Amino acid sequence: MAMMLSCLHEWPSVTLSPAYEDATYTVLPGTHVNETHYQVTALCKGCTFWAPFDGESTKLNGDGENYLAFAYSSVPVDDPTALDSTFGIHERVGHWIHDFAGSKSADFATWAGAGGDGDAETPAEPPATEEPPATEEPPATEEPPAEGEEPAEGGDGTDGGAPTRPEGWNIVKISGEVVRPRAVVVDSNGNLLVLEAGRGLSVLTLGEDGCISTSKLVIDNGQLNHGLSITPDGAKIYVSSMTTAWEYSYDAETQEVADQRVVVKGMYTGGHPSRSLVVPPATPHLLVIQLGSNSNFDMESLDIKTARANVKVFDTAEAPEGGWDWITEGWDLGYGLRNDIALVVDGNNMVWGIENSADNLGRTAEGTTTDVHIDNPAEELNLLGDPSKPNTDWYGYPICFTIGEPEVFVDKTFKVGDQFVLSPNTTYDDASCAFDEDFSNMYVTLHGSWNRAPATGYKVVQIAYHQLEDGTYDPVASPDTHLPYVDIVWNDNVDACSGNTCLRPSGITFDKAYSRIFVASDNASNGELFILYKTE
């Protein structure tokens, strides 16, 4: 079954690559800007070698074709003078194939010399990087407020202000110094494992007062960007980069990992970078992985063999040396899923996914195009099924989309939950979810949308579930419900929210006792962790 959720999502999450430590960037003559246009001519030395998402160095092909891309934003970066400056919004992206051989010129040395230091040379090896310490000082934490006090502020010093919660709930900030936290899980000792995008995996020990007492970096890998899961016995951890999924043995007592091995390789670079992971509790040898589209409308993904905009399953117990190949091995658990970044497993070991659907949609009928993107498409909550059995069902993308607001369609009468195509002739945001102990509620983080005015998301919501007579789980709300959820935490001044402001929920998980919910916020200004709990 599918439930339609009328929220807009954000374009692919920004995954910042490691800084080029020894690179130089020089603006050359020919650069200018006026009120309507700008042109930049620049020389970057030491930028043609890098370590991509599998950690092995690579370089641009100076005698052939290279796949290039750009991102554009009218919102400035946080600190233009800092190489590792964060930024939260990009309004336009694109990519193309560029023939470097055909672009060569005998005048290159003269052009490069205009930067002030003579001929340009590219280093033969990628620049060395420093090894960070394995253990860091614990971050400062705040005392949890007593019941009834105001909650800790989300996004310190931002225009969004403190997050709001309804009667019967409280939220306490326990850290504001984590690095872009994208996913959180709890180990067998109750410690909090946090996937910090661009840094690695940290384990945070919580004291009796609920605050963080120690913090330790257990996996140092700057290519990790989102995916994190742990087996029910807590003995194995899975993490992912854009191209690779790894398995580690994990000891919660010593907070150490060992026995790294690749379990899945060869996932696509480009497009949506996140690779969400989930280990279904009843089948702990299986690893479920999602991979999004490579563009807003990835038409090639209509072919299931393309292995994009889909969810797949791999048997980690039988993984060969070097890992399973993403495209040709494993089995499908649904395709036509633009970016199912939120995966969760119910009490019957069935996998559910929340799809981040397309941007900037217009409906064309009889030669007239109507902008419908403000509240369309709705995002889908799909039952993908038993992970031990292949599911080759197509879920609609990139042809069919779901009605979130029918009133804006002028050529036909729709209702919420109906399917539509962009032309009759031819969003949740980054979201994560967790079921409570009895599977009566799913809690979902709505990361926040940019492709909408006013903005939406930037909150945590609750979707009620019930168990049917046949034992299956199903949302209480019908598929045509406009708002099938209840807000648990939100930002009042959502119009002021962006990637650098407000609570920006990303990862979510329960503690061992299912009495508290840990929520990560990857606000680019200050990564935060919160505890959310009921007071009555």
What integer pLDDT is reported at residue 319 of this predicted model? 98
What integer pLDDT is reported at residue 441 of this predicted model? 86
**d(C-alpha 172, C-alpha 453), whole Å:** 29
The rounded average pLDDT for each run of 10 residues, N- to C-terminus, in the chain (536 residues) is: 34 51 80 84 81 62 83 71 63 77 84 56 40 40 39 40 82 88 94 93 88 93 93 97 96 97 92 90 97 81 91 98 97 91 92 72 61 58 92 83 62 59 38 73 79 72 89 82 82 76 87 91 83 88
**At which residue do the structure tokens 């200050």 appear?**
526
Say if residue 324 is exposed, middle or buried (CB neighbours under 10 Å; 0-12, 13-18, 19+): buried
Q: What is the DSSP pairing of strand 391-394 with strand 331-335?
A: parallel
Token duo for residue 506: 């990303």
Token duo for residue 233: 């016995």
- Which H or E run includes 108? helix 108-113
Which phi and psi angles does 444 have, rounded to 5°? -130, 135
What integer pLDDT is reported at residue 105 of this predicted model? 85
Sequence-ordered strand ranges (E) for 330-412: 331-335, 342-345, 351-354, 362-365, 368-371, 379-385, 391-394, 401-402
**d(C-alpha 103, C-alpha 61), whole Å:** 12
**d(C-alpha 296, C-alpha 7), whole Å:** 17
What integer pLDDT is reported at residue 290 of this predicted model? 95
- Short-list 534, 526, 462, CA closest to 142: 526
What integer pLDDT is reported at residue 370 of this predicted model? 62
- Check if the beta carbon of residue 119 is closer than 8 Å to that of residue 113: yes
What integer pLDDT is reported at residue 367 of this predicted model? 65
Which domains, ranges and CATH numbers included, belong to the chain?
2-11+131-287+305-534 (2.120.10.30)
- Check if the beta carbon of residue 282 is closer than 8 Å to that of residue 270: no
**288 residue type, one letter:** V
Sequence-ordered strand ranges (E) for 253-350: 256-265, 277-278, 286-291, 310-315, 324-325, 331-335, 342-345
Token duo for residue 210: 């609920």
**d(C-alpha 172, C-alpha 413), whole Å:** 45
- Check if the beta carbon of residue 345 is closer than 8 Å to that of residue 281: yes
Max Cα-Cα span within the chain: 78
Q: What is the DSSP pairing of strand 286-291 with strand 310-315?
A: antiparallel
- Check if the beta carbon of residue 484 is closer than 8 Å to that of residue 462: no
- Check if the beta carbon of residue 350 is closer than 8 Å to that of residue 386: yes
Say if residue 245 is exposed, middle or buried (CB neighbours under 10 Å; 0-12, 13-18, 19+): buried
- Check if the beta carbon of residue 375 is closer than 8 Å to that of residue 6: yes
Q: What is the DSSP letter of 109?
A: H
